[in-house]
Structure 1
Amino acid sequence: MAMAMAMAMAMAGAVMKRRNYSFALRSLNFAFESLSILHCHSGFALSTLADKNDCVIDHLENPFAQFACTRFNISSVEIALMFKWAPTLQRLQTLDKIEEFVGVLEENGFKQEQIAKIMRSIPKHLAASCKETRNKLQLLKDSGIRGEKLVKLLTGRPLVLTFSLEQRLIPTVTFLLNLYQSQDLFLKSVLRYMSILTFSVENTLKPSIAFWEGYGFRGEELTKLLVLRPSILRCISFTTAQLDLIRKIGIAKESKSYKHVLILLATSRMATLEAKIRNFQLCGLSYEETMELFRLNPHAFGLSKENIRAKMDFVVKNMELPPNSVIKYRDILFSNLDKLVKPRFFVWKKLASMNGLENCNKTLRRMLNMREAEFVTKILKRHPESATLLSIYEKGLADASSSSAYTQILRRGFF
């Protein structure tokens, strides 16, 4: 059991170096639960491991442990992890600075569970200067991040409180405000992607802006993009694999889709994009056909595995078309399968059987692109057999409402 505890502590320590507190806590929880069971059944004392693993807390003797446990309901396992990451907490004799830190947060509307989350995340900075913390909060409030927005930001990104006010926070906030040229746009971007406040001006923000300007994003277009997708600010270059994928897709630089692909690559992991490509190949498309699909509509990268397979299955089995037909009828991939594609296909199939279509394939694509009112007026009600067609269509919609239909994908651009 002692070996299991030591292994869990070693794993937690390794993960803490990367600040993955969640996984580290799970490791420690497993060890403590195991030791607790052993303690209950055999009288094994947790304190016997105190010297070796430095993870046992005596709540009666340690002021911070008692404060964190009784006031914020932070568990022994979590306190052990905090002591491991910030040993000075274990040696504190008074809690004046920590109580001041908590007081500042409470003054700004933070609740106990939110303060507890911040304490767990930045244990090294709990005894920081109260004046410094107030100045950081005031800077954020002056930039427009107030009230619930301030609470949301710091609960989600407590790391912001650890940065130097003069050397990091002020330059970053000032740069972003100048970049967006509007406090409202700055606020929208921060709330969409809170990590931008953790970026260094010299190491990340300036290189990123230069990078995107090099690809032709400037002025109002760049500002609009940064508001809609502020996460692109983390990208300062493309990897060899990303550049190779751009080349294989084969979009001309003059095409608007080219910029869409650039944005998609900057906001997605290569492993995710490669998995999307493999998924289309498993559904019957060749690699070249998959690249052609992405070239015609880069939004295909955003489709889920389940969504793609359900629609490809319908195309092959029900529509009796080859898998690569989704390149021509790619609207199928971006429409709700149960509420739009199926009902309209069954109407089209009935029309084709009645020889009511001069050009079946062209009409199918047009029917899939129509708005609802246009489809009903121009296709269903104008036909001599309108009652039959309406019955087929309504049955399809009724079946869709009783099934777990996929959410329709909004057809909007990246910016």
Structure 2
Amino acid sequence: MQSLKLRPLLFYPPFSSNSFQSFLLSFSTAFLSTPKNQYSKETTFIFDFLNSNFKLPKSQSIYISKRLSGTTFPQNPLSVINFFKQIGFSQTQIQTIIRQRVQLLFSDVDKTLRPKVDLFQQLGFQGSDLCGFISRYPTILTASLNKTLVPSVEAIKKIVRNEKDLIQVLCKCGWILPKYPLFVSNIAFLESCGIVGDQVLILLKRHSRLLSFSQSAIRNYVLQAVELGFHQNSRMLIHGLQTISGLSKKTFKRKLDIIQSFGFSNDETLQMFKKSPALLRASDKKLKVGIEFFLHTVMLPKPALANRPMILMYSIEDRVFPRYRVFQLLKSQNLCKVSSFVYVLCLSEDMFLNKYISKFKENTEALLIAYKGHHIAGGTM
């Protein structure tokens, strides 16, 4: 049989599951009957097709070339794509998975893929949630089921309390599953530092990236936290680690410098960080606007702000400014004795509405306008 004549890619339509299957079927007969010394031309052809439709880099194309054989092509790619379609994966999701893990095209569906999908279905993933989860973390389909995925899931099950939390954690940090036993040993180390129970759950939900670091790096972050005044076995340690590990030393110092530029001493600044570690993860603008407002508008003494730095984390537009307008109106009309704006600011939404708006029936409308006026006007005060 004569070798296939290569044609420009523009003759082939963009990827769709049907066009890809038709291509594989039509190509297989010619490919399997082509002499081995002519494989290079035909594999170039399939490379170009896959690169055009899946946007595969050259390294993945080379991988495909080494795997092409009569026993794997086109049977495996066809069965893999059909399997994904049957589960409910969209065309875009299939493209995403193959681009990131092209070796999956040569997987055995029944022995390799289906058991892993079954695992996550048994955990509670169904329909579009299942497809979204796997397409977001396709690496889990290349990890060993019994040596990696099952032990990882069991380790996380020991931390989370119910199926809802388990699904939430996996959706947040599914990438961590193939990293067993690294993240398990890191959890054990952090537990030895006093980060236990629900604190580990907080870590998984909010800062699982820390668990992917080497243990020497985590140990170094713990030492830095201790040097800054956090204590092992303290419930604040995990929050300090989240900030320290998430910021470069340059950025960390810049945040401290911003606070000190308003006249806070080094000790006061570190006190603020220890009381509210998330403070340094706020944007430079948020820090500056917040400190400026509390010191120069509310006239809050520096020691008072240093003692309650968490109020700098509240939304300026949606909480701080609106409540301050209500606070000012109540004081100006002598409707009640409100001595501390910080107290007003820290109340829950329901408590604030009941105590400082709904309670004053004759002035409710004026107070609501003061409180919600920024939404009505489409701006701030």
Partner of 2:91: 112
Partner of 2:188: 210
Give the drift of 1:291. 0.9
Structure 1 residues 287 and 63, CA gap change in structure 2 (3 angstroms): same
Structure 1 residues 68 and 291, CA gap change in structure 2 (3 angstroms): same
Partner of 1:62: 45
Partner of 1:87: 62
Letter in 2 for 1:397: K
Letter in 1 for 2:372: L
Letter in 2 for 1:63: I
Distance 2:225 2:207 in 1: 23
Give the drift of 1:245. 3.8
Q: Give the CA RMSD over aligned residues.
A: 4.1
Partner of 1:145: 125
Quote the sequence identity (%): 21
Structure 1 residues 317 and 128, CA gap change in structure 2 (3 angstroms): same
Give the drift of 1:380. 7.1
Contact 1:143 1:173 in 2 (8 A): no
Give the drift of 1:251. 3.9
Q: Does 1:172 align with 2:149?
A: no
Letter in 1 for 2:145: L
Equivalent of 2:77, from 98, 115, 125? 98
Normalised to the residue count of structure 2, the TM-score between the two structures is 0.69
Contact 2:264 2:302 in 1 (8 A): yes
Q: Does 1:243 align with 2:220?
A: no
Letter in 2 for 1:216: G
Q: Give ranges in structure 1 of 5+ residues lacking alignment.
A: 1-56, 407-415
- SS across alignment from 1:216: coil
Give the drift of 1:312. 2.2
Contact 2:80 2:107 in 1 (8 A): yes
Q: Could you list the per-position Cα deviations for residues 306-363 of structure 1 after superposition, in whole angstroms to 9, with x for gaps in the alignment? A: 32222223234433557665324535413332344334435555677789999x8x53
Partner of 2:342: 365
Partner of 1:33: none
Q: Could you list the per-position Cα deviations for residues 185-230 of structure 1 after superposition, in whole angstroms to 9, with x for gaps in the alignment? A: 43332112111212122xx133123112212344x53564466447
Contact 1:341 1:368 in 2 (8 A): yes
Contact 2:221 2:244 in 1 (8 A): no
Contact 1:144 1:183 in 2 (8 A): yes
- SS across alignment from 2:125: coil
Give the drift of 1:112. 1.0
Please list, as runs of the form range in 1=range in 2, the aligned pairs for 1:175-324 lying within 5 A after superposition.
175-177=155-157, 180=160, 183-201=163-181, 204-218=182-196, 220-221=197-198, 224-225=201-202, 228-229=205-206, 231=208, 233-234=211-212, 236=215, 238-240=218-220, 242-248=222-228, 250-253=229-232, 255-262=234-241, 264-265=243-244, 268-271=246-249, 273-282=252-261, 284-320=263-299
Give the drift of 1:126. 2.6
Partner of 1:161: 141
Letter in 1 for 2:185: P
Structure 1 residues 206 and 88, CA gap change in structure 2 (3 angstroms): closer
Give the drift of 1:159. 1.5
Contact 2:322 2:374 in 1 (8 A): no
Distance 2:358 2:163 in 1: 52
Kindly tell me the number of residue pairs found equivalent between the two proteins. Answer: 332
Distance 1:299 1:286 in 2: 19
Give the drift of 1:118. 1.1
Distance 2:358 2:47 in 1: 75
Letter in 2 for 1:234: S
